[in-house]
A and B are shown apart, each in its own frame.
Chain A
Amino acid sequence: MSPLALVTAGLVLVSALVLALAVAIAVVRAVRVRRAARARAVAEPLRPLLLEVAVGEGPEADDAAAALAALDAAGWRSVEPAVLAVLGKVRGDGQRLLVELLAARGVVAGARRDLTARSAVRRATAAELLGAAGYAPAVAELGALLRDGDPEVRLVAARALGRAGAPGAVGSDVEEAPRDAATALLSSLAGDRPAAPPDVVARSLLLVGAPAAPALLAALAAPEPLVRLTAAEVLGRLGATAAAAALEDLVLRDPVDAVRVRCAAALGRLGVPSAASALRAATTPATAPAVRRAAVRSLGEVGDPSSLRCLWGLLDDAEGGVADAAATALLGLGAPGVRLLAQVSSQGASASAAAVARAHEVVTCAVAAEVMPPAGLAEVEAVLADVLARASRTPAAEVAA
């Protein structure tokens, strides 16, 4: 073989490989484009039917559901992805009809079977589908999935439990479903390592809503800090004022600072005036800075005027974060807080230089950014007038003297 033939052979070899890969790319693209076009062609005429079902109103919706249930296998294959995509986005009759349609097509039964499949992706996909369907009868199976060996499956199961256990879920006449979902979710946080990420569990508990409150209240006494912490967070966001007393107790006495922080934040969200006393007690220097910061922020949210003096005293706190939070909280208290800040800022109230600087910053930021409500601005003007009046009186007094 001549050298020229050698070069040619080498180039042919490499070119063949490149060509094979290029052809593979083209084939992949062509197949995908063709499949998509075919699926579109089949699914497009069925789209109005799907919309009717999703709207879920009147006999037209029932007829559309019946038509979709009667589709042949090919037709159903093309419309199924669209059904699944719509599933998690509708509520009420539309959701019920879609779930009935999926049940009629055997999709729900298939998903329940897949919850024990060998493939983790299949188990998770099945859990996701049942969650999106808000399928209350599957709560027990989804709860069991929280003990799955695969963390991703557990995560999806935790997410699905929130929807399946929610009050509006399909088949929520299964009365114990929300309670069971809440119990399972909280149990998933017990133990050395949580079965699912706490924020996912908390989100699901929020979806379960008020029916989860008794389980959440009981969880405030759980030995695991993560359970107490999550329960406090969710109770605060649910506005469960019945939990205020327990939260007040924990904000002062829980041995774990992270739990106390969440309890303080929860009390702020609840906005119960009686919580102000416990929150003020949590701002003492002996408490951890993170807890103090949270307590101070919550005092602003609770909005109890009796906290004015406490917040004022914290404006020059050695812990910068606490002092900043106190200034912001005073702003959040409305007119009385703004008046105090303006007085401190104009040194009309006896305060340290740090307090003056902080009060000045927070008020001027709010004024300059025009986020100060009219009542607050009126307070600032009143203090300004007062200062100007005092300033004008002083020289005259001196002359008279």
Chain B
Amino acid sequence: MSGADVAGLLTALAGPLALLWPDPSSWGLFGHTARGTVVVLVQLLAWPVLLYVLAINTSYLVLIGLAGADMGRYLRRARIRGVEDASASPLTQSVSVVMAAYNEQAGVVGSVSAMLALRHPRHEVVVVDDGSTDATFALLREAFDLVEVPRRLPAEVPVRGAVRSVHVPRGGRSPLVVVRKDNGGRADAVNAGINAARNELVCITDADSVLDPDALLTVSRPFADDPLRVVATGGAVRAVNGSELVGGRVVGVRMPRGWTARFQVVEYLRAFCVGRAGWSRLQSLVLISGAFGMYRRDVLVEVGGLDATCIGEDFELTLRLHRYMREAGRDHRVVFVPEPASWTEVPATTAVLARQRRRWQRGLAETLWRHRRMVGNPRYGRIGLLALPYYVLFELVAPVIELVGVVLTPLAVGLGVVPWEAALLLMALCYGYAVVVTVAALLVEELSFHRSQRWRDLGRGLAAAVLENCWHRQLTALWRVQGLWSLLRGQRQVWGAMDRQGLAAASAGSSVPSSAPSQVRLPDTAALAGTARRRAGSELLR
């Protein structure tokens, strides 16, 4: 494009865009007519919204750039990471993998088997059945030959739902503990798991998550490298829908079939892989995903575990850790490890996705409100001065601003306030910039870990980067605003059911019953006593 063309373009732009410039003389029209009201709203909001969109996408681009640098640094050190040494060392810090399970019959057995098979010299798996009403526990009991033991769990972190029983595999065949408790929500279940955990590090993950084989070794490495300061590490979380799994491991990354899931694949890449690496580079990571986070157990106990009253418990925990350590004057680090990853099943339907996004946004708002003292407070360093103001400005407020733009633009065009050409241009620029951001994230992924290998999936990823702006983005903004609204109205938040496809179970070769009983009778624990000899022993000791 020549200089004259650019000048012509700018001159031509000036006409329609001038219509959006605030003109106080016309503000008296507000409330008189619908058109007058829209005129004033457009004049008041158009430029702030445009600048906001520009700023938020630029900030994403900066984070992606930082993530690229961080991942480059990580990859350059691939040969010197010493994972092989850690896998064989008797001194490697021990890890308890805590999985909360609520009605996870579709995949819990495969998931637990895969967790037990992870590479690590000293790890145990603690599954907390949070009052499931399906066959979750029955399947676990059958698969791992569980027996009930009268083990008391320490009450180091508070738990609301009463612990009913503790089970271990007969003969101590595998390092597995299953805790059954009354339903109290995911955070409460994780807290019970923390109490049951006996190792130095606690890895919190979901029962439907699939971890890469080296995930525990790699994510626990920062604790060994910097034992005094590292209190928590977070791993990358990727969408697993559509991928090929063998033996509970992702062996082929594929794009899922539906667009709802495809949009989330690129979203997860942009936000949970690349975005968090950027924040980690700034040493300002405030969100470790509940799907894959590792913590020092003693520090978890000190801060009281997860807050079961908060719907965004993973964000709240990370923030509370920062706050606790800062207020105690203890030097600390929260580190993001970009690879390997935890693979999680994302909602495949808009109804489930809507519930999830409402919950996330509400959790974000609740947590930021609880820790509002930290926002902009220099006492909390970069977290207070950089990360939290960013979260307030670009995560909390973003859907509201986006929705304002989405509603106002067609109104302004319909009422003839703004020419459709100008509106289209501006929307194209705004969403085009968003596409640039997503494709830049895809480029960083391609340059770094390139987990997806198929050309077809690359095309689908690029298509998803464009098409998500056509309806998914707007719907997401609406759901997030609904989440904020439900909080403002004081509505009770409930965890919606996630329609699992049972990826891990399917991968393990077993079929998932399509019509599994919704409720199974709890096992008679007395009947679990295997031999007469054991019954006699128990009798004596009762």
Does any Cβ of B come within 8 Å of A6's Cβ? yes
Give the contacting residue for A22; candidates B9, B171, B227, B462; CB below 8 A: B462
Whose C-beta in chain B lies nearest to the C-beta of A363? B541
Does any Cβ of B come within 8 Å of A283's Cβ? no
In the assembly, what is the distance between CA of A124 and CA of B225, in Å? 14
In the assembly, what is the distance between CA of A7 and CA of B447, in Å? 33
In the assembly, what is the distance between CA of A346 and CA of B77, in Å? 59
Whose C-beta in chain A lies nearest to the C-beta of B171? A370
- Chain A residue numbers with a CB within 8 Å of B428 are 7, 10-11, 14
Give the contacting residue for B152; candidates A2, A206, A361; CB below 8 A: A361
In the assembly, what is the distance between CA of A233 and CA of B168, in Å? 31
Does any Cβ of A come within 8 Å of B93's Cβ? yes
- Chain A residue numbers with a CB within 8 Å of B168 are 365, 369
- Chain B residue numbers with a CB within 8 Å of A5 are 12
Does any Cβ of A come within 8 Å of B533's Cβ? yes
Per-residue CB contact flags for chain B residues 170-185 toward chain A (1 = under 8 Å, else 0) read 1110000000000000
In the assembly, what is the distance between CA of A387 and CA of B542, in Å? 12
In the assembly, what is the distance between CA of A200 and CA of B85, in Å? 9
Does any Cβ of A come within 8 Å of B378's Cβ? no
Give the contacting residue for A361; candidates B13, B148, B151, B446; CB below 8 A: B151
Whose C-beta in chain B lies nearest to the C-beta of A14? B432
Q: A159-B85, A380-B537 are in contact. Are A369 and B171 (CB under 8 A)?
A: yes
Whose C-beta in chain A lies nearest to the C-beta of B432? A14
In the assembly, what is the distance between CA of A232 and CA of B173, in Å? 32
- Chain B residue numbers with a CB within 8 Å of A203 are 85, 89, 91
Whose C-beta in chain B lies nearest to the C-beta of A204? B85
Total contacts A-B at CB 8 Å? 180
Q: Could you tell me the distance in whole angstroms from the C-beta of B84 to the nearest C-beta in chain A?
A: 7
- Chain A residue numbers with a CB within 8 Å of B486 are none
Does any Cβ of B come within 8 Å of A18's Cβ? yes
Determine whether the beta carbon of B170 is less than 8 Å from that of A11: no
Determine whether the beta carbon of B80 is less than 8 Å from that of A152: yes
Determine whether the beta carbon of A21 is less than 8 Å from that of B541: no
- Chain A residue numbers with a CB within 8 Å of B432 are 10-11, 13-15, 17-18
Give the contacting residue for A200; candidates B151, B170, B224; CB below 8 A: B224
Determine whether the beta carbon of B150 is less than 8 Å from that of A368: yes
Give the contacting residue for A32; candidates B89, B170, B225, B450; CB below 8 A: B450
Chain B binding site: helix, strand, loop or mixed by DSSP?
helix
Q: Could you tell me the distance in whole angstroms from the C-beta of B86 to the nearest C-beta in chain A?
A: 9
Determine whether the beta carbon of A124 is less than 8 Å from that of B424: no
In the assembly, what is the distance between CA of A354 and CA of B470, in Å? 66
- Chain B residue numbers with a CB within 8 Å of A2 are 12
- Chain B residue numbers with a CB within 8 Å of A83 are none
Does any Cβ of A come within 8 Å of B28's Cβ? no
Chain B contributes a number of interface residues (CB within 8 A of A) equal to: 69
Determine whether the beta carbon of A125 is less than 8 Å from that of B80: yes
Per-residue CB contact flags for chain A residues 14-27 toward chain B (1 = under 8 Å, else 0) read 11011001101110
- Chain A residue numbers with a CB within 8 Å of B424 are 7
Say which size band chain A's interface belongs to.
Answer: 35 or more
- Chain B residue numbers with a CB within 8 Å of A13 are 432
Q: Could you tell me the distance in whole angstroms from the C-beta of A131 to the nearest C-beta in chain B?
A: 9
Q: Scan residues 156-209 of chain B and give those whose CB is less than 8 A from a CB of chain A.
A: 168-172
In the assembly, what is the distance between CA of A262 and CA of B118, in Å? 29
Determine whether the beta carbon of A128 is less than 8 Å from that of B80: yes
Q: Could you tell me the distance in whole angstroms from the C-beta of A205 to the nearest C-beta in chain B?
A: 10
In the assembly, what is the distance between CA of A369 and CA of B528, in Å? 10
Whose C-beta in chain A lies nearest to the C-beta of B154? A320
Determine whether the beta carbon of A4 is less than 8 Å from that of B150: no
- Chain A residue numbers with a CB within 8 Å of B149 are 364-365, 368-369
In the assembly, what is the distance between CA of A381 and CA of B540, in Å? 8
Residue with the greatest number of chain B CB neighbours at <10 A, chosen from A7, A125, A155: A7
In the assembly, what is the distance between CA of A184 and CA of B365, in Å? 53
Q: Scan residues 499-542 of chain B and give those whose CB is less than 8 A from a CB of chain A.
A: 528-530, 533-534, 536-542
Q: Scan residues 345-401 of chain A and give those whose CB is less than 8 A from a CB of chain B.
A: 345-346, 360-361, 363-365, 367-371, 377, 380-381, 383-384, 387
Give the contacting residue for A199; candidates B93, B462, B540; CB below 8 A: B93
- Chain B residue numbers with a CB within 8 Å of A365 are 149-151, 168
Q: A14-B429, A360-B150 are in contact. Are A6 and B421 (CB under 8 A)?
A: yes
Determine whether the beta carbon of A22 is less than 8 Å from that of B439: yes
In the assembly, what is the distance between CA of A19 and CA of B169, in Å? 56
Determine whether the beta carbon of B458 is less than 8 Å from that of A7: no
In the assembly, what is the distance between CA of A86 and CA of B85, in Å? 14
26 contacts between A and B (CB under 8 A): A7-B421, A7-B424, A15-B432, A18-B432, A18-B436, A18-B439, A21-B443, A28-B446, A29-B455, A84-B79, A121-B77, A125-B79, A125-B80, A197-B224, A203-B91, A233-B91, A320-B154, A361-B152, A364-B541, A365-B150, A369-B172, A370-B147, A380-B537, A381-B536, A383-B540, A384-B537
Q: Which 3 A-B pairs have the closest CB atoms?
A: A14-B432, A3-B421, A384-B540
